[in-house]
Structure 1
């Protein structure tokens, strides 16, 4: 089974990586980077995924989306990536 991993700024402005799974968002696996910048590197994201027990699916690539802020403030970016539990067959 595959899931979507997301990299985004939390409500506190710090980067976090979370896996969208069944159930309530409070129960999703999450890794906080504890910083607002710089954006976590690919190596940091890969290590965080492994720490949560997930790995990239075959051919997965990060996709980035710009989130417009209605009141004219800075835009936010969110990345998503397809993952699976470590060791699960494709």
Structure 2
């Protein structure tokens, strides 16, 4: 199964992490700003720093969730995701 990079925020700092099945810790990075949303170029740079790159042809997709499961009055959490793979030729 291919790893997925996800980026999320609930109105505060943005966090990008690579979800690795079976791992106890995931590579991650935080932008200590609520706005603007990190650009695609910023995300690509962070992924490379973490040792990953987007799978060719993949695009970021966005969903929203609630901070409290099942409570549609709780704050919204925005989540972006993209399929990634380990870098093979080093960071670019």
Q: TM (normalized to structure 1)?
A: 0.81
In 2, the alpha carbon distance for the partners of 1:85 and 1:67 equals 28
Higher mean displacement: 71-80 or 30-39: 71-80
Aligned residues: 85
> Is the Cα–Cα contact under 8 Å of residues 2 and 57 in structure 1 kept in the other structure?
no
SS of corresponding position for 1:59 = coil
Where do residues 1-90 of structure 1 align in structure 2 (5 Å cutoff)? 2-9=2-9, 13-21=12-20, 22-24=22-24, 27-68=25-66, 70=71, 72-87=73-88
Distance in 1 (alpha carbons) for counterparts of 2:29 and 2:35:
15
Maintained 8 Å contact 1:54/1:84? yes
Consecutive unaligned residues in structure 1, runs of 5 or more: none
- TM-score when normalising by structure 2: 0.79
